[in-house]
Chain A
Amino acid sequence: MGSADESSESDHHAPAPADWPRGFGEASWWPLATAVGAAGLYAGAALALLARGEDAIVGPALPSVLLVGGVGIFLASLYGWTYHGFVARYWKRAAGDGLDLRWGMVLFLATDVMTFAAGFVYFFFVRTGPWPPGELPHLLSSLVAINTAVLVASSVTLHVAHESIRGGHRRRFLAFLGATVVLGVVFVGGQLLEYYELLVVEGAALTDVFGSAFFALTGLHGLHVALGVILLAIVLVRAGRGQFSAERHTAVATTSMYWHFVDAVWLFLVVTLYVGSVA
């Protein structure tokens, strides 16, 4: 391989990595376990679809076993993997520049643009047709305005938090990071409230021509925000345990990129889906 490993190898046994189950040198169980979990999740979802309706061809037990088991294994594996890879004995590890992880995040966000694209293209398709396609729900409420303000504010607080840790101000970093998590939770709550208003109070249709676009896009976005809150909370917990410094803040940087991206998608959503539907 590369030049680094040309040193005499016989007396240079690879120290076992801090991993569990204890890997073999550079080998690891986590990727396989993660894949098994994901496979269980997908198989469970597939069987859950087969279990629907009157002429269901599988009972409800098997899909739920697979779903719960799959998600459990998936999350446990991710936890084991990332805990031992990033969190355990944080300060003893050599700090990389995190360049590859940043690149990874940028590329992931590029894929995410395309993930959202399908729903947006559908919306533009129907929006350029006869409009409105039916009765539109009441979209432009004060709730949306508040939610937007909350999300934009959270981007600002996160940016301040990131700048703080870069400058070595741990206190300020923690405070603004905490504020960001709170704002994120508020946004998710506001989104749930909006769904409640639309679906239950107003009785809007979930799957008509407009509802398909609206709930697919806002739902996908809501899932992104929820995941973002979880990621930020993890960063917060790690920060609370004294991790990160002016030189080492890759996780803060990548999570920020994700969060700002989700914020930008929301603004685009508001302009096209909310304002664009009635304007």
Chain B
Amino acid sequence: MIGAVPGIVLAVALLGGLAAYLRVQRDPPPAWYADGGVISPTVGLTRTEKPSGVLRWLTTVDHKDIGLLYILFGTAAGLWGATDAMMMRTELLVPETVVWNVETYNAVFTTHGLTMLFFFVTPVFTGIGNYMLPLLLDADDMAFPRINAVAFWLLPPSLVLVRGGLISDVLGAVLGVLPIGVGALLALEPVSMGWTMYTPLSTEMANPQIDVTLLGLHLSGIATTMAAINFIVTIVTERPDDLGWDELDIFSWNMLVTSGLILLAFPLLGSTVILLLLDRNFGTTFFAIEGGGPMLWQHLFWFFGHPEVYILVLPAFGLISLILPKFCGRRLFGFRFIVYSTIAIGVMSFGVWAHHMFATGMDPRLRASFMAVSLAIAIPSAIKEFNWIATMWNGSLELSAPMICIVGAMSTFVIGGITGVFLAAVPVDLVLHDTHYVVGHFHLIVVGIIPLAMIAASYYWFPLITGRMYNQRLARAQATLLIVGAFVTFVPLLVLGYMGMPRRYAAYPAEFVGLNQVASIGAFVIGVSVVLWLVNLVQSIRVGPIVEDADVWNLKETGQFTREWQWFEDRIEKRRAERPLPDDHTGAESEPSEEATDPEKPD
């Protein structure tokens, strides 16, 4: 019976194709996108030509809708990954393995890493970029709106594949009460080889879920790469003629360099995981001892992996550089140098990968040269930091919620960055490698900067996206709490690393218990602050006060009322003019205000 299904599916597909072929045609639409979509004259302004409800979200090719989908998906994945983190820190409250078992701990730190890196950070930044980039560039949409949509829709299935072990176990447990065989579901265990998937461990582990996860990673890599190509082409070709490279905003510059890194890093990871898959299933020798060996895996992985850390962090740098000046009442200090430093980071990040392999007994001469480049890559990062500080210098600072996030991000970056410079020194790394010091180093960045920049962006643009305002006091408290949480969690890890506590173990010697408990409490503080953020924004989307004046942050005063806000202002004006627009959630209750603000275009 079931054997007939492929035929049926195929027949349906063919019929669909035939119907498409025979479809009655109307007049051509006014303009076409490069990937086959059409430009409608009313994109995003009203919903008259968009379907409503869930259909809208399934069929949308509007960059703003897709941006929101990305942000929602990334946030959901981030919360899932955060749950893993909370599980780990709960286990580490006590030296013995009593809360979970060793297998669960190993699985949780693996899926935590994979989820956060591939399904939280990059999707959220892609979403913010999707929403904002065309507005900042004054483009109609992304260059390839449909490829944009397909790149998004590939992500949910890849997440399911990557995290399949847990899903199948839960399903198996639920369905297990029924009298059907669930052995297949239970045979898939959550993967536990570590996010770096080092061979030979990853080739020898029997768990078949590893194969599924590798395929999921491959699919997500394709999606990420498609989005990156879209960003580059958009920035290169969709700018209006009067917007030259010298006027490109700093966030777009960062997205451009990030996308360039993705372009070269992700396809390599894709091929590498496929080679691993072949080794696991078909007896090839890519990472076998007689073939390329474990060192080949590490070289290929880190040639992707180091650029990946900048793929994660550059959009955050871009957001900081974009938003910070708005709350200092000054222009970004040294704009040009920040652009140069971004490009320099992009180029250099492909030349430092082996600093993750100092402890493997590689050739000392090679080691020394990688050490030199790794130390050098700290310079462009420092340039950014100093330019940010110089931007604040003598500025009239306004400690609004986005600004608090950004100042916090800048301060965590000082410690996160400097600890990286120490690690880049071979003798230091030989001691600290595989200790909690490394965990502290990179988490001060991946928790300190990245979510803080995202949250800063969410607070900064929330009024523009939803037309409503959130509770600013709660937001300020939440931002402060997050910063405190980040320091309380990760600075103790640095100390623990100095004391020699290894990473990736569920149990640890009893002498480390104090600092571990501090770190765990810090983690719970972070968790609470994330919940506060969520509650504030969700509640404000529903009932927050409606924004009547587009200049939420008094940007006109300092001449920083940039294009996206101008667009927002036009939209508010338009809505006022043609009220009533009952289907619009932001405009619905808004009364037209008498003192309609005069739109003054800054540029």
Contact = CB atoms under 8 A, between A and B. Distances in A.
Nearest to B32: A93
B13 A112 contact: no
A45 B43 CA distance: 38
A95 B2 CA distance: 47
A69 interface: yes
A45 B215 contact: yes
Given A20-B20, A35-B154, A61 B2 contact: yes
B438 interface: no
A65 B271 contact: no
Contact of A114 (B14, B55, B268, B282): B268
Given A61-B3, A100-B144, A20 B23 contact: yes
Contacts of B232: 103, 107
B385 interface: no
Interface string B218-252: 11000001000100110011101000000000000
Nearest to B290: A209
Given A5-B45, A126-B292, A216-B284, A103 B40 contact: no
Main SS of the interface on chain B? Answer: helix
Given A39-B157, A212-B286, A57 B59 contact: no
Contact of A104 (B23, B45, B62, B229): B229
B602 interface: no
A71 B270 CA distance: 20
Contacts of A7: 41
Nearest to B570: A6
Nearest to A33: B16
A72 B14 CA distance: 8
Question: Which of B134, B233, B265 is most buried by chain A, counting CB atoms within 10 A of its CB?
Answer: B233
B431 interface: no
Interface string B424-464: 00000000000000000000000000000000000000000
A25 interface: yes
B567 A1 contact: yes
Interface stretch (B4-12, B195-203, B329-337, B400-408): B4-12
Contacts of A98: 34
B34 A101 contact: yes
Interface stretch (B104-112, B145-153, B480-488, B504-512): B145-153
Given A5-B42, A20-B23, A65-B5, A107 B35 contact: no
Contacts of A85: 32, 35-37, 146
Contacts of A216: 275, 278, 284, 286
A114 B238 CA distance: 26
B215 A46 contact: yes
A103 B237 contact: yes
Interface string A205-247: 0011101100010000000000000000000000000000000
B14 A25 contact: no
Contacts of B290: 133, 209
A13 B58 CA distance: 21
Interface stretch (A74-82, A156-164, A190-198, A257-265): A74-82
Given A5-B140, A100-B34, A121-B300, A31 B61 contact: yes
A201 interface: no
B478 interface: no
B582 interface: no
Contact of A64 (B6, B28, B55, B272): B6
A25 B61 CA distance: 10
A178 to B, nearest CB: 25
A229 to B, nearest CB: 21
A21 B457 CA distance: 37
A117 B38 contact: no
B20 A117 contact: no
A192 B19 CA distance: 37
B585 interface: no
Interface string A10-36: 101111111110111111111110111
A76 B41 contact: no
Interface string B38-52: 111111111011110
B41 A83 contact: no
Contacts of B293: 125
Contacts of A43: 157, 161
Interface in B110-167: 134, 138-141, 143-150, 153-154, 157-158, 161, 164
Contact of A84 (B20, B150, B272): B20
B598 interface: no
Nearest to B164: A46
Contacts of A3: 138
A144 interface: no
A2 B20 contact: no
Contacts of A273: none
Interface size class of A (residues with CB under 8 A): 35 or more
Contact of A14 (B49, B216, B274, B278): B49
A101 B154 CA distance: 21
B28 A9 contact: no
A36 B16 CA distance: 15
B264 A110 contact: yes
B263 A107 contact: yes
Interface in B66-97: none
Given A1-B567, A209-B291, A15 B26 contact: yes
A111 B578 contact: no
Contacts of A23: 59
B29 interface: yes
A6 B39 CA distance: 13
A76 B285 contact: no
A82 B32 CA distance: 12
Nearest to A108: B229
B271 A118 contact: yes
Contacts of A116: 271
A26 B267 contact: no
B17 interface: yes
A26 B39 contact: yes
Nearest to B137: A2
A80 B9 contact: no
B369 interface: no
B283 A69 contact: no
Contact of B40 (A2, A14, A29, A75): A14
A34 B215 contact: no
B212 interface: yes
Nearest to B288: A209
Contact of B2 (A20, A39, A65): A65
B550 to A, nearest CB: 15
Contacts of B17: 76, 79-80
A14 B40 CA distance: 5
B233 A31 contact: no
A8 B240 CA distance: 22
B237 A83 contact: no
Contacts of A39: 154, 157, 219
Contacts of B215: 42, 45-46
Contacts of A81: 36, 146
Contact of A57 (B20, B164, B184): B184
B47 to A, nearest CB: 9
A50 B48 contact: no
B179 interface: no
A43 B322 CA distance: 41
Contact of A89 (B2, B28, B219, B263): B28
30 contacts: A5-B45, A10-B578, A20-B23, A24-B49, A26-B37, A27-B51, A27-B56, A29-B58, A31-B147, A35-B153, A38-B157, A42-B216, A49-B277, A52-B281, A57-B183, A69-B5, A72-B14, A76-B13, A76-B14, A80-B17, A82-B36, A85-B35, A99-B237, A122-B291, A125-B292, A207-B283, A212-B278, A212-B291, A216-B284, A216-B286
> 4 shortest A-B CB distances, which residue pairs?
A85-B36, A25-B49, A14-B40, A35-B153
Given A14-B42, A43-B161, 5 more contacts: A13-B42, A24-B56, A25-B42, A39-B157, A114-B263
